[in-house]
Amino acid sequence: MTRKSAFRFVKECLNQKLKSMAAPRHYTSSSSSSTSSAKPNLPHSSRKGRLFTGSTIGLVIAGGAYASTVDEATFGGWLFNATKVVNPLFALLDPEVAHRLAVSAAARGWVPREKRPDQQILGLEVWGRRFSNPVGLSAGFDKNAEAVEGLLGLGFGFVEVGSVTPIPQEGNPKPRIFRLRNHGAIINRCGFNSEGIVAVAKRLGAQHGKRKLDETSSTAISSGDEVKHGGKAGPGILGVNIGKNKTSEDAAADYVQGVHTLSQYADYLVINVSSPNTPGLRQLQGRKQLKDLVKKVQAARDEMQWGEEGPPPLLVKIAPDLSKQDLEDIAAVALNLRLDGLIISNTTLSRPEGVQSNPMSKETGGLSGKPLFSLSTDILKDMYILTKGKIPLIGCGGVSSGEDAYKKIRAGATLVQLYTAFAYGGPALIPQIKSSISNHAFLLPDLHLQIALDFIFKDLIVALGFQFRQSFKLIINFRFQLKLIGVVVLQILTLVD
């Protein structure tokens, strides 16, 4: 049947239906029904009409039944894909306007909610908390903690808010965010635009109550479990990233204020000493400055009253533009002061060769996104070796696919974060990345074990070299031991062969 004739058929049936509805139903009278003349002229086309109505109702019922069998999760999956249609429209807007809209949408819950549970292989325990997956949203997207629920609902394993400064400040004049679209990159010189710790504490306080409720209902099922599922006050993990005011003379006092006001809401805290847009900030990464700062912040955190779960772990976020000596100094401080983790890295002031052709690359500020990937991953690898795998590292910088996330984990990251790729790719990117990571790690029920084994086979030479250098040292880290065992097993297998 051609489209035209089908359309005509449908129209005819509808007309018939409408007519038959309007017509008096005298034909149902019994005695007259026996004579053909008295019979209404139903029959042929009206049968079609009935057929059509019947099939329409049937289709609606079947459709409804199907929709009801399509679980929320599948429906949610469609919604994630639907955002791919909307996302390019954001690209037409000024970057900061687009960003503002995205945060508002997430704050109002106008974003898809991930109903599909994360695959078990993606789950991991860090700092005594259960992360349902290792992919997080890095600081800067939700600077003022406006959209924590919406963002966690997108399926991130964790969300980091901030950087938050003690006193509200405007940041640098606009425009201050620039897209390098064809390079999958952004340059920003926001300069810590922040509503300040009081506003953010109020917001987190209000959410805290709500999240606490969610937790009460969800933990009832998992009681008896040693590891706490999710964060301090809900199913997702919340990081709070603290900064300093531009004009503040006493940086440590600023971070201490941040800790005093915000740490009660945080599953982990971050001292950000690596933003390139606050004058003098990066100097706090120097050995002595960092040591003094971390000591003061740790003391401020520890002197507060904590319940049985203890204070939130403290991390430092570092820049990718550091010399070997700088890295060694930071590693030494981190090990000596038993820092709970490092985030590697913030944006770069450098302009890798590929992006120099882009006129936007001349803009002042920190570069993020794809061109940052190798620089930040190299630093991550160095830091993993320098800290002997003893400190959880969060790999950040240029992650735009599951492959990238996997590479970060192989380079030593326990968790990964992203920002720029999310700004370009939107919500649909998150399930994509998670499923791609789990596809990489299909052999074993533990992602990190899988990656460690992967490391043995793929990077055998590097591993051997490293083990050789470390041969006289006591190797206490499990992953190192695993690599060592792997190497030995491999050698035995080769001999047997």
Active-site positions read 275
Instruction: Note whether 189 binds ligand FMN by CB under 6 A.
Output: no
Among the listed residues 315, 484, 292, the one whose alpha carbon sits nearest the alpha carbon of residue 383:
315
Out of 177, 327, 409, 416, the only residue in the binding site for ligand FMN (CB under 6 A) is 177
Tokens of 148: 């924590």
Q: Identify residues 36-95 at the interface with ligand FMN (CB under 6 A).
A: none
Question: Of 420, 427, 455, 486, which lies in the binding site for ligand FMN, with binding defined by CB under 6 A?
Answer: 420
Nearest distance in Å: CB 296, ligand FMN? 19
How far apart are the C-alpha atoms of 238 and 152, rounded to whole Å? Answer: 9
Q: Write each residue from 377 to 396 as x if it is in contact with ligand FMN (CB under 6 A), else as -, in one continuous string.
A: -------------------x
Question: Does 368 contact ligand FMN by CB under 6 A?
Answer: yes
State in angstroms the smallest separation of the CB of 89 from ligand FMN.
Answer: 19
Three-state DSSP class for 493?
Answer: helix
CB-nearer residue toward ligand FMN: 169 or 188: 188
The one among 90, 255, 419, 455 contacting ligand FMN by CB under 6 A: 419
Cα angle value 127/130/133 (rounded, 5°): 110
Distance CA 396, CA 176 (A): 21
Helices within 277-390 (DSSP H only)? 287-302, 324-336, 373-386
| By CB under 6 A, residue 123 contacts ligand FMN | no
What is the nearest approach in angstroms of ligand FMN to the Cβ of residue 428? 16
Give the binding-site size for ligand FMN (rule: CB under 6 A). Answer: 28
Asked if residue 264 lies in contact with residue 231, where contact means CB atoms within 8 angstroms, the answer is no
**Torsion of Cα atoms, 232 then 146 then 152 then 273, to 10°:** -70
Among 232, 317, 381, 410, binds ligand FMN (CB under 6 A): 317
Asked if residue 275 binds ligand FMN (CB under 6 A), the reply is yes
Beta bridge partner(s), residue 368: 186
Q: How far is the CB of 184 from ligand FMN (least distance, A)?
A: 9
Please report how close the Cβ of residue 343 comes to ligand FMN at its closest, in angstroms.
7
**Do residues 342 and 334 make contact, with C-beta atoms less than 8 angstroms apart?**
yes
- Residue 60 CA to residue 68 CA, distance in Å, equals 12
Smaller CB distance to ligand FMN: residue 16 or 348?
A: 348
Task: State the nearest-atom distance from the C-beta of 143 to ligand FMN, in Å.
Answer: 6
Per CB under 6 A, the list member of 397, 427, 431, 486 interacting with ligand FMN is: 397
Helix (H, G, I), strand (E, B) or coil at 188: strand
Residues between 125 and 154 that touch ligand FMN (CB under 6 A):
138-140, 143
Query: In this structure, are residues 326 and 290 in contact, taking their beta carbons and an 8 Å threshold?
Result: no
Query: Which ranges in 249-323 belong to alpha helices (H)?
Result: 251-262, 287-302
- Secondary structure letter of residue 120 according to DSSP: G
- List contacts with ligand FMN (CB under 6 A): 138-140, 143, 162-163, 177, 186, 188, 190, 192, 241, 272, 275, 317, 346-347, 368-369, 372, 396-399, 418-421
